[in-house]
Structure 1
Amino acid sequence: MTDQASDSFIYLDYAATAPLCEEAALAMEPFQVPGPMNLAVNANANALYRLGRGAFDLMENARRRVARALGARRPDEIIFTSGATEADDAALFGLVRGAAQQRRLAGQGDRPLHVITSAIEHDAVLAPCKRLEAEGVSVTYLRPNRDGFVEVRTLEAALTEDTVLVSVQAANSEVGSIQPIRELAAVAHEAGALFHTDAVQALGKMPLDLQQLDVDAASFSAHKIGGPKGVGALYLRARTPFEAFLLGGGQESGRRSGTQNVAGIEGFAAALEAAQAAQEEESGRLRVLRDALYAEIMPLDGVQATVDVEAGSEDYLPNIVHLLADELESETMVLRFDQLGLCVAGGSACSSHSLEPSHVLKAMGITGDEAYNALRVSMGRYTTRADIEAFLDALKKVLNW
């Protein structure tokens, strides 16, 4: 590796997106044939003629595979979407409005609505919450502790008789903290509230079974696990009150209108099965790399770990390392690494062009000045020990530019 930009690079930003995996590429290959013969697999899955029915069968088979991999009770609990942002938006608006409709039917339409989320959620959850507030819904934002965890007692203290929905992410995309979702969901349900989790970062990195977690809804994205961009899923437990977010032709049993991306859905199912099959072994391998990276970084002057991740810890995702540098802004570090041929991030990819410090770090009690100096390294399927060694060499150059 040289100090000059070149076509060769080392990719360490898997939390933003993962490279397309072989399994997904192979599953989507039949859909890439140009011309009318492509309609044998890529017809509109809602058409009544034979080609349409064939595409529908492919999609429903993929739905069964996704449901099985996620631990859903029934295939129709999986709603295919354009990605996790849509799934999060649909969950927040659909569940709150569904709960409001239930209250109206019960003669309680004058009761206020209350939603609880955490202050470290992805913007795909926080932005809908802000919109709900503008519509008159009361929203409570739970602050995590300094280590990035939402504590059960914090949720217990925030619940009221008017709470209709609690939404807490399964794992944080910046520092990697894994939340106690099963315990949080149990507390929410005891208070009569629904529970949604944004499980995008958790998928493929940790054991994930929807029945064991006992959540009412969960959001997923294909491209975070090596599937294609533009496809995701919303898990919606059967008989959960829900009002459709996207209206139109009534696809997905009336819960998400729009012609389904059958090719993307096939790629999603293939990537998910591959990620789930390799999850235990791959998480162990990545955890070793994570721990080695933290161990090498700790003695360096001018940089510190954002959170205290003990070696072997399963409280944090196995693939994320988060650092704070002294007086060196995130944007500067990312561009310097880029010149050295490495792709890293300053925070969530969805807000990487924002000049504001990370809302996640600020909510954890990290000052704004410190939050400006954040760096995230995230690893995945194709990350090697050599990549980590290259990052460490580059880090020293970046710190002493």
Structure 2
Amino acid sequence: MDRLVYLDWAATAPLCAEAACAMKPFQVAGIENLELGGNANSLHRIGRAAFSALEEARGSVMADLGAKRPDEIVFTSGATEADNAALFGIVSACAARKRQKGAKDFKPHVITSSIEHDAVLAAVRVLERCGCEVTVLAPDRQGFVEARALEAALRENTVLVSIHMVNNEIGSVQPVSELAALAHGADAFFHTDAVQALGKEYVDVGELGVDAASFSGHKVGGPKGSGVLYLRTGTPFDPLIVGGGQESGRRSGTQNVCGAVGFAAACKAACAAQEDEAARLRGMRDHLYERLGAYERVYPSVEVEPGSRDFAPHVVNVCVDGFESETLILRLDRKGIAVSGGSACSSHSLDPSHVLKALGIASDRALGSLRISLGRSTVPEDVETFLAAFKESTEEAFSWS
């Protein structure tokens, strides 16, 4: 192959030029170059310079995400931490409030869906072990959490609902605004994992009406190890990481100024290009579904109509009968094509995707899932190269004509 064809953007995006440029001044070694490499909490000139850069990044992210105040933006080590912090922090604070008001036997109730990222599902399981009541909503066959299902699950003791904005494996876009309004109507708070939405869907936390939202830097071309937790003003929250009280007491630890600056630059670039980029990717997504769906033994995991905005523009998911994901991924890798079988976080698991199982797809078929995800540098020629490599990789077993 003359060049790598990278079609695993939902797993990670290459560091973008905007982020690399913004971070460069922070990555020069030596004490003589400490001007921007200081501790943002120090009072001297070097510390103030770092603090200024950190707050400039915070203000930039605040504007791009539609937040109202800079202190609603909490820099984290990534979306996993942001998801964990939102669930543990909000539930803990809500339970403490109830108990302070005399409800000593209060058991908080949390609602999520069965197709969330493991960062949410694992946190929910911990909450359940700690005495919380938990309801896990099943999606419909197309991967959507229905408003009526949430409405039926809400209780008097529901304190938090956590439903992602875009599914990372099949791309279904959830009706977050509607779901958040239902939660608020029951005096519950609402969190969304918006990792796969940023840069692909229009994201405005104010318009969405959410109380908390999680974002990851490396999914939009920022550095790995950078993320953001949005916390609406007034949302009860007990910090997950305590110590020096940084990030307005919500996330202690010396801030990664370089990572925050890189996140802000990548976020701005992704948001500025979002509308045009989504339209461009949507065309390639539809072409992939059309071409792959024409094969007799290839089954789209969900039905995505051409031009559909109900599904994210960058994710394609199919099941290939007669193959396991790992076999296809490695065959394609040898041809210079990088794709995945689903979430990168569970790529070493031998179990079928929990998302596809939740849709009712049989385990044997789900084991042959393939996720092709598109991004900023993906061009139609890459799609055609992948399609040719896919045919070559499967024709011996399938005897394609």
TM-score band by shorter chain is over 0.9
Residue type at the aligned position of 1:256: R
Aligned pairs for 1:28-177 (under 5 A) are 28-177=23-172
> How far apart are residue 293 of structure 1 and its match?
1.1
Kept in 2: contact 1:100–1:109 (CA 8 A): no
Residue type at the aligned position of 1:296: R
| Other-structure match for 1:321 | 316
Residue type at the aligned position of 2:129: A
1:190 aligns with 2:185: yes
How far apart in 2 are the matches of 1:38 and 1:263? 14
Corresponding residue SS for 2:161: strand
How far apart in 1 are the matches of 2:240 and 2:33? 31
How far apart in 2 are the matches of 1:287 and 1:26? 29
| Other-structure match for 2:325 | 330
How many residue pairs get aligned? The number is 396
> How far apart are residue 38 of structure 1 and its match?
2.5
Kept in 2: contact 1:172–1:201 (CA 8 A): yes
Amino-acid identity (%): 60
1:373 aligns with 2:335: no
Residue type at the aligned position of 2:91: V
> How far apart are residue 42 of structure 1 and its match?
1.0
Corresponding residue SS for 1:144: coil
1:280 aligns with 2:297: no
The one of 200, 204, 208 equivalent to 2:203 is 208
> How far apart are residue 104 of structure 1 and its match?
1.6
Residue type at the aligned position of 1:262: V
The one of 315, 336, 342 equivalent to 1:341 is 336
Structure 2 residue runs of 5 or longer lacking an equivalent are: 397-401
> How far apart are residue 47 of structure 1 and its match?
0.8
| Other-structure match for 2:174 | 179
How far apart in 1 are the matches of 2:246 and 2:81? 15
CA root-mean-square deviation: 0.9
The alignment's TM-score, normalised by the length of structure 1, stands at 0.98
Kept in 2: contact 1:28–1:263 (CA 8 A): yes
| Other-structure match for 1:5 | none
How far apart in 1 are the matches of 2:271 and 2:221? 12
How far apart in 2 are the matches of 1:32 and 1:78? 24
Corresponding residue SS for 2:172: coil
Structure 1 residue runs of 5 or longer lacking an equivalent are: 3-7
Corresponding residue SS for 1:219: strand
| Other-structure match for 2:4 | 9
Kept in 2: contact 1:302–1:399 (CA 8 A): no
1:21 aligns with 2:16: yes
- Moved runs in structure 1, 4+ residues, more than 3 A? none
How far apart in 1 are the matches of 2:294 and 2:106? 56
How far apart in 1 are the matches of 2:234 and 2:27? 37
Kept in 1: contact 2:161–2:188 (CA 8 A): yes
| Other-structure match for 2:399 | none
How far apart in 2 are the matches of 1:17 and 1:109? 45
Map Cα deviations across residues 30-71 of structure 1 (whole Å, 9 max, x no partner): 112111133101101011111001100110011000000000
Map Cα deviations across residues 165-185 of structure 1 (whole Å, 9 max, x no partner): 000000000000000000000
Kept in 1: contact 2:95–2:107 (CA 8 A): no
1:303 aligns with 2:303: no
> How far apart are residue 301 of structure 1 and its match?
2.6
How far apart in 1 are the matches of 2:22 and 2:238? 33
How far apart in 2 are the matches of 1:301 and 1:241? 52
> How far apart are residue 109 of structure 1 and its match?
2.7
Residue type at the aligned position of 2:312: L
Aligned pairs for 1:253-264 (under 5 A) are 253-264=248-259
How far apart in 1 are the matches of 2:291 and 2:274? 25
